[in-house]
Structure 1
């Protein structure tokens, strides 16, 4: 039986000035480990506030350069909890920026956290040392791209050459979901391409101590 020991609350910060309108929803985890809570919450809040500060400077520079009275810049942050157990929590921070034009830009930043120590989990951490995890995942993604439902949609043209060392992913149920930023492997119309990998299918390649964490 899995016990859900972590609650996730939200701290809301709203800022509205002549440079930037911003709505920030910051996750606040509350587990039975205070040290882990402090470590994780501090990291995520600092990252979100850095996003705001950088966006504010961009808007300020734009306004000053063009001598405008007010900018139309928007910078928002929200979050979604993808997996939450007593061992691991996987959170996506969803950033959105708009500075004019046809549409805004959004980016998802993952936090896959080992709740035993508060450390972030990387793809390399999950797989056994003798496993070429990049090759394994690349093959799986290429196979999914070749599926008929991907090929029939002409608006989605994938330009995939392999995952990166710091490849983005999140954990969801018993899956590792690999995903890519806007424009990274496909046009804007394709959105955020996602490729779920079922853990059970690659179980022999995963380190024993991580099987418990991610399943």
Structure 2
């Protein structure tokens, strides 16, 4: 195999006292950062008989605010330069935005420390990456973003890129599997099995449900094997690192040829916590979904706005309640308080994202005192062709008594564990035209609020009904 020449890439961007260079890297062993030479070992990905190389772009510098050492994968030799540029811009932007944001925060804190007279600890921003698979038209790599802002240790976030080199589009979990495979169930069972075998590494209460496996779940492919991973503290303590699971799959579950065939819908996490004004009064942990990649940009903006407005409204309501409570107690009670009484958490779960339908829920948890908090969900089922919300009754033919069919299936499931549900009028009577539901992997899932048809110990009851069992009444 020919070695690659420097291609003039050593004359690169200069930041502060540092510089950027490119080096060809081995797939599994990254070279040490260098600002003086280009190493000529190379990693290649063959797709449509074309050679794609992964070069190592290095940005390294330091100032009084921050030490920066960034390794960025750079695709070279792609037969489609537009695709190559799009891939490189996306990864590079992720790294540069990460660095810029951290450096901005570092400068602000250093200025504040000078005024307030406390010691400033220099920040660190580092990125490394690993190419896990680069063959058969598929590039699968992970990028590690490390930050240190003081304290006992830093924090690392792992970001996966699984890219169809033919199109430049993301490959999602659903793209990996053959039609009809319940991949979420297979993955959750495999992860739970692995955690059970190594209980000491994970939080005790963790049990992965199939619905917890999001369509954009963190994963990569290594030698055509699926590896799913979780972020620090997500399911395990810091000492366990970033948990990774090699998923056990039955033969024939994965496609022989993997391509990005699903709608290019993406969702990013937007995190926020309580503002300074509410510190000590309420603990807030909000993860807001932000959708992108929809073909209808107006609909995309509408969805994101509706979600944001809904979360902000719920947030404002509980903040007012928390503030009212805080103002009502005595100064002594405030001083004796061990922390905020109120809690407010927001998450989400995307269960279906196809060319036609987007189905997801916004998941709320609030605690205002007492023995337990209260979970609630808001459901979004959207027809991406019309842009309209899908109501429960919209799923069924007008000529059929769909309630009778669905009620029968729910009652059948309740009968299997009747002790878990309320009896008589307090229990389940019938589904409604505006019944809460979501779509999941070829299933209709009917869900009820906590205490709606069952005691709190049952949680939020849900009933999974395969489309194949009700296809005669579906539109």
TM range (shorter): 0.7 to 0.9
Q: Which residue number in structure 2 is paired with residue 203 of structure 1?
A: 252
Q: Which residue number in structure 1 is paired with residue 52 of structure 2?
A: 6
Structure-to-structure mapping, 1:112-123, within 5 angstroms: 112-123=162-173
CA contact (8 A) 1:78 1:95 kept: yes
Structure-to-structure mapping, 1:117-136, within 5 angstroms: 117-136=167-186
Q: CA deviation at 1:191?
A: 0.4
Q: Which residue number in structure 2 is paired with residue 35 of structure 1?
A: 82
Describe the superposition over 1:102-144 as per-residue Cα deviations: whole angstroms up to 9, x where unpaired: 1110111011111111111111222345333222211111112
Counterpart-to-counterpart distance in 1, 2:53 and 2:80: 12
Tell me the SS of whatever aligns to 2:216.
Answer: coil
Equivalent of 2:214, from 157, 164, 181?
164
- Structure with bigger RCO (C-alpha 8 Å, 6+ apart): 1
Counterpart-to-counterpart distance in 2, 1:107 and 1:100: 17
Say yes or no: does 1:47 pair with 2:97.
no
Equivalent of 2:135, from 75, 80, 85?
85
Q: CA deviation at 1:163?
A: 2.5
Number of residue pairs matched by the alignment: 204
CA contact (8 A) 1:20 1:73 kept: yes
Tell me the SS of whatever aligns to 1:120.
Answer: coil
Counterpart-to-counterpart distance in 2, 1:27 and 1:175: 22
Q: Which residue number in structure 1 is paired with residue 146 of structure 2?
A: 96
* RMSD value, Cα: 2.3
CA contact (8 A) 1:79 1:93 kept: yes
Name which of structure 1's ranges 84-93 and 175-184 shifts more when overlaid on structure 2: 84-93
Describe the superposition over 1:13-69 as per-residue Cα deviations: whole angstroms up to 9, x where unpaired: 113112111111111112333232111111100111010111112212211222268
For structure 1, the 5+ residue unaligned runs are none
Q: CA deviation at 1:71?
A: 4.0
CA contact (8 A) 1:174 1:198 kept: no
The structure number with the bigger radius of gyration is: 2
Say yes or no: does 1:141 pair with 2:191.
yes
TM-score normalised according to structure 1 size: 0.85
Say yes or no: does 1:105 pair with 2:151.
no
Say yes or no: does 1:63 pair with 2:110.
yes
Counterpart-to-counterpart distance in 1, 2:62 and 2:195: 42
Counterpart-to-counterpart distance in 2, 1:163 and 1:124: 11
TM-score normalised according to structure 2 size: 0.40
Describe the superposition over 1:55-95 as per-residue Cα deviations: whole angstroms up to 9, x where unpaired: 11221221122226864100111111111114111111111
Q: Which residue number in structure 1 is paired with residue 228 of structure 2?
A: 178
Call closer, same or farther: CA 1:99–1:190 in 2, change over 3 Å.
same
Name which of structure 1's ranges 183-192 and 15-24 shifts more when overlaid on structure 2: 15-24
For structure 2, the 5+ residue unaligned runs are 1-43, 260-475
Q: Which residue number in structure 1 is paired with residue 68 of structure 2?
A: 22
Q: CA deviation at 1:160?
A: 3.7
Counterpart-to-counterpart distance in 1, 2:71 and 2:61: 12
Counterpart-to-counterpart distance in 2, 1:84 and 1:126: 15
Call closer, same or farther: CA 1:123–1:51 in 2, change over 3 Å.
same
